[in-house]
Each structure stands twice: as C-alpha cells, then as structure tokens.
Amino acid sequence: MKKNSSIIIGIIIMLFSSFFQMSCATMFLRCAGCTISEAYSDPTALKLVKAAVGGDSKKVAELVKEGANPNHLEPDKVPMLLWTICGQNVEGFEALLKAGADPNLGGTGHGRGQGNQGGDGVSIVYERWSAMTFAAGDPDSRFLKLAIQYGGDLNSEKRGKKAVAGTGLPLIRAAFEGLFDNIKLLVESGADINIHTETDSAPEMAIGVRGRFDIAIWFLEHGYTYNLLGLAKTAEGRAVTRNQPYKEKFIDMLTEKGIQFPVTDVYKELHKYRELPPGAMQDIVYGRKGCRDFPLKPGRYNDRTCWGGEMPSGSRKQQNDI
C-alpha cells in the first residue's frame, strides 16, 4: 500500500512539474518585443493565444467555437500564428490554422523575442510580417509546411518600409537564414525561383550572408536566371573557407553561362597596381588567394586596399605588404 502511494505521489509530482514548466515557458514568452501578457488587450484574444502557445489544441477549438477570433489583431501587435512560432509550438500553430487563422495576415508589431530563427534560439519580427514569412526563416520546416498547406502565399511580401534584412519574401527569408530544406520546400511548392527585390535575390542572400555556395549552385541547377552578372559580383567578392570547393564550382557554372570573370571593377583593374603572374587572377576570383597576396607595383604603397595608394614623390612609405 505504501509503495502504491509513493508511485501515485511521484506521478502527481511529475505531472505538476511538467505543467509548471509549460506554464512558466508560456508566461515568460516574448515575441516581437512583447511578453505574452502584453500580446493583446482583448481578454478573449489573450486566452486564445495563450492556449495556442501552450499547445492546447482542444482549448483553442473551444475558444474559437465560443467566439474567439484566431485572426484578432491590434495596433502595434502581431498575429497569433507568429506567437506560436516564437514559442516553437507546432501543435498550437496547426490548431490556429484549423480554426481559420490566416497565414498571410501581417501586423504592425515588430521587435525581438524568443524562437529559433536561423537556428540561434532567438527571433526578430519586422512590421507586416506574416506567419508565412516568419515560418520561412525557422529551421523547423513543419511550420512552413503547414502555412503552405493552409493557403500561405509563396511569393507574398509583407514588410515595413525600413525592412532591409527583414524582407518579407519567403524564399529570400529562407535563403537569408541559410535554410536549405525550406528553400527546396518553397520552390517545389511553386515559389518563383527568380523572385527578387530591388537589391536582393535568394541565391545572393545565401552567398552574401551565409557563404552558402552549395545553395546558390542548387538555384542554378533548378532554373535560376535573374541577373547572373549581379550574382557573379556577389560571388566574386565573398571569401569562404569550408565552402571553397562549392565557390569554385559555382564560378565555373557561371562561366559556362557566359559570365567573364573578373566582374568587379576592383579585380578588373588589379593588374595595373599589383604584380600578377599567370593564373593569379583565377586564384583570386576563386578565393584561393587574396589580392594582397601579390606585391604592389613600383610607385604604390600599402594602404590595406587591393590597389594600394599612389606613393607621393619622395615618400618613404612602406611599398609592399608581403
């Protein structure tokens, strides 16, 4: 009898501990610059979002049936779906979608919070971001799969005026975070592989931010054709270590498509200022060597740039940097 009582007490303690941990996690959750208690001023909406981030699908369904709105939104706040991504709760995310939450809805809230954006345990939300946009930058691809399944716009752009790294295009978000699985999922689901902003495209983001030439290769292999010259310029100037073989393959692929390297003005004019033996430029373009690995020509001094500076007459400046 005493043994059975101990087992029962142990089970109760475990259940209480589990509930307490979940409650604390929900209580102190932050998303887009707010705590969960600040998510909404409307008490019914607050109950619903707390149930969702806690993964209580049954409670979500009950509250919506009683009149709670899964698309409730207030000034300077974000949609409920984004809260479940910050809380990394797929069950709550799906429950809201089943209840009618719109994965394309964007709010005016913004800021930092919890989550796992890019795999680093934190998140940042920009104005007008939808759940579709936010999910594209999360390494747990289940969020993105569900958002797409429930009508997420593959090519939508929900963003604020000042969003730069915060571009709302899902494919560019996934590339910015270097999330290969999300990139493949979006393209295979019908996203425009050539989609771009005035300044960025997905493979440019993958290379420029993450040095992911393997991702850029995949884009070329799957029909990417937009502004190859601009892509080549980004690639030429991006130094890498671990992904060096991928960079060389990528440069070769662009060459086969008609791009003539070097493409940047710095490297095009480099022969005027540095002593470059045969094959040196290819090593520089590939990234095997840097421009400053080669000596400056007479009359130039080391100013820590590729070209060096023009040496003033009678100057005793150090000419070379090797």
Contact status, residue 286 vs residue 247, Cβ threshold 8 Å: yes
Contact status, residue 142 vs residue 131, Cβ threshold 8 Å: no
User: Average model confidence (pLDDT) for the chain?
Assistant: 89
Which residues does 304 contact at the CB level (< 8 Å), separation at least 6? Answer: 292, 321
Region 158-178: mean pLDDT is 71
> 29-192 falls under which CATH superfamily?
Ankyrin repeat-containing domain (1.25.40.20)
Strand, helix or coil for residue 258: coil
Find the helix or strand (DSSP H, E) in which 35 lies.
Answer: strand 34-35
For 38-89, write each residue's pLDDT tens digit: 999 999 999 999 999 999 999 999 999 999 999 999 999 999 999 999 999 9
Q: Out of 72-81, 118-127, 209-218, 222-231, which region has the weakest mean confidence (pLDDT)? A: 118-127
Q: Give just the sign of the alpha carbon dihedral 94, 98, 99, 100.
A: positive
Buried/exposed code over 239-263 (b: 16+ C-beta within 10 A; e: otherwise): ebeebeebbbbbbebbeeeebebbb
Residue 312: pLDDT band with limits 50, 70, 90: confident
Q: Give just the sign of the alpha carbon dihedral 62, 68, 72, 77.
A: negative
Is residue 11 pLDDT above 80, yes or no?
no
Give me the pLDDT at residue 252, please: 98
Percent of the chain with pLDDT over 70: 84
pTM: 0.86
Q: Where in the chain is the domain with CATH 1.25.40.20?
A: 29-192
